[in-house]
Amino acid sequence: MKIDAPLLPKVRLSPLWLAMVAATGASGVTAQETVYRLDPLQISAASETRSDQVVDAQQLERFQADDLVDVFQSLPDVSVGGSLGIAQKVYVRGIEDTLLNVSIDGASQAGTLFHHSGRLAIEPELLKRIEVDTGAGRATAGAGALGGAIRFETKDPEDLLRPGEQAGGLVKLGGFSNTEGYKANLTVFGRLNEQWSALAFVSQADHKRFRDGDGERVAGTDAEQQLGYLKLVGQLPAGQVVRLSHEVRTDKGERPQRPQWIVSGFNRLYELDGRRDTTTFNYGIDPAGNPWLDASLTLYNTEARIEQNVADRWGRYFGFTHSAGGDLRNRSQLGAHVLTYGVDYRSDKVNAGDAANRKGEEETGEVAGVYLQADYWLTQRLLLSTGARYDDYRLTDNNDQRFSEDAVSPNVNIAWEALDGLTLKAGYARAFRGPTTRDTFKIDRAQNAPDLKGERAVNRELGFDWVYQDFTLAAEIYRSTIKDVVADRLGGPVLYENIGDLTSDGFRVSTSYQWDRVYLGLGYHSNDAELNGNPLTVYEYNLLGNTVGDSWVADLIYHWNRNLEFGWQGRFVKGIRKLETSVGTIDKPGYGVHDLFLHWLPTGSDDLRLTVTVKNVADKQYLDHASNGDFQHIPGYEGVVGMPEPGRDIRLGLALRF
């Protein structure tokens, strides 16, 4: 629902709402969407959440994003470990994505296939927007959002069609010097009639083994990826919108048995293939003149699988996850106040087995929730947002044990425009996650402790946003605790139990400045992620979190004219010495990585676009802090180290629109 102009003075959308809702400039390096234009502010049932950070399609296009590392490279408090696409894991404030609620167009991406690989797969070319909520937050974030939420939003046909245009197409060709690889995709889009439009997308990418910063080929890093995507959108009478999409993504290659580690004598190369199928239905209704009704319905079905052929040992082994569910919500506007309420449900199933018995082990779970979130203007400058959700979890595990847990998760946030342009913020939130399905590659030998309890997160934050003309400054300090976190202990039997409390403490500062054609951005994040007072490492506790050094991200973009822009981005991570782990002390050396881009419209029209991107300009040899640390110097742990990151990569992209 658009907020009509007469309401603007009443609720003071400028600058308080802009600072909280649309000022990605206050997020430092993610400000590209607002640097050159500010889209009309819209708040609807489907997009009413106020995200901490946003990445838009323009940012992804500049650096020719190809994987999750590229997608999140501009956010200092988000790290991606695992240089190999299928092994990549996302960490928000040091907390792994398994403890976040991740969705694509509202379709929840639940379940874990393999603890040594990632669980998220996305095609950056399809993305319109990525929203990241850090820490437990609003009731609308969904069930089990212990460490926050990540929402991927894909493009509609209308995002590609020009005014008055009935149909179009886009061919993109990309070359990658490091992997001697290529990527090609074709998008066809058009209006079927006045109400319906459609989009079809196909993509093929093929990469050889990449070279690290020392110029050495890294074994097990080749990949062949394919994707097909269809989307149908209907703009119906009475403010109704229908979206139906289906996506199939595959990833094939010869990888280490444990993809997040280097190839070694005990971690040999085998075929490892992944696939994800997602079908999503979205329906919204927002009739004009009815402030009580702004409803949306999301239904989804996601299936993912991983197949590994350990040919000289047990042969082929399969892991499957299946999630189906929905969310029904409505948003009512009561004058200047907003009330959002709804219900959601998700059913999960995981199974695994060998080629002769694909479904030898199985777990099933479900969660049903009801939620309410209110945004109430106490004065013209003081906004109170408060709400709660109730979630009921049920699980039947692979040993036929049955678990049932439920709890209420409240939250309260205050934003006060103390001065024109200066907004002070404070927040407190709880989140709950009951027993859920586990890693498919462990369920044939894993057990849940009979007294297994649900996990409970508590998040506290203080911060401010300051917008003065073309300058922004934002800061926040936070403390997040996940009590009774569930994991299996290193070196022991595969027993999932409540092992203690996970804490994530830190602060973030970001600033940006727009001067004529120049944009400058700088973000800094410092975090301590610990389990029971000890630093977290992904080796000791897969699927929980990791320790990352203080991180800086800087941006410099120059808009030469409407046809040419170029820029630089740097990411700098401070080293960590003598990090104590349960098996010994390790170091995490610091590093700085520089990227450049040039974006050119040779004909003065976006019918033809040329993009040149240089990743890792200095050919830096380094191990990302979000990857598995280096344990090789510890006796008995030779080969336990993550893969190094790729060295210099020159990417050439050509886009032809017709």
pTM for the complete prediction?
A: 0.91
**Per-residue pLDDT tens over the stretch 402-419:** 999 999 999 999 999 999
pLDDT above 80 (res 34): no
CA distance 24 to 56: 10
**Least confident window among 33-42, 45-54, 195-204:** 33-42
Burial 289-303 (b: 16+ CB within 10 A, else e): eeeebbbbbbbbbbb
Residue 217 parent element (H or E): none
What pairing do the DSSP bridges indicate for beta strands 337-354 and 357-377? antiparallel
Q: For 286, what's the count of Cα atoms within 13 Å in the CB-facing half-sphere? A: 20
Q: Which residues are registered as beta bridge partners of 425? A: 415, 463
User: What is the per-residue pLDDT for 360?
Assistant: 62
User: What is the per-residue pLDDT for 81?
Assistant: 92
**Per-residue pLDDT tens over the stretch 433-465:** 999 999 998 888 889 999 999 999 999 999 999
CA distance 490 to 510: 37
Instruction: Give me the percent of the chain exceeding a pLDDT of 70.
Output: 91
CA distance 16 to 333: 18
Say if residue 599 is exposed, middle or buried (CB neighbours under 10 Å; 0-12, 13-18, 19+): buried
Determine contact, residues 133/51, Cβ cutoff 8 Å: yes
Model confidence band, residue 20 (pLDDT cutoffs 50, 70, 90): very low
Determine contact, residues 335/11, Cβ cutoff 8 Å: no
pLDDT above 80 (res 355): no
CA distance 281 to 300: 6
Phi first, then psi: what are they for 81, rounded to 5°? -105, 145
- Domains of the chain, start order: 5-657 (2.40.170.20)
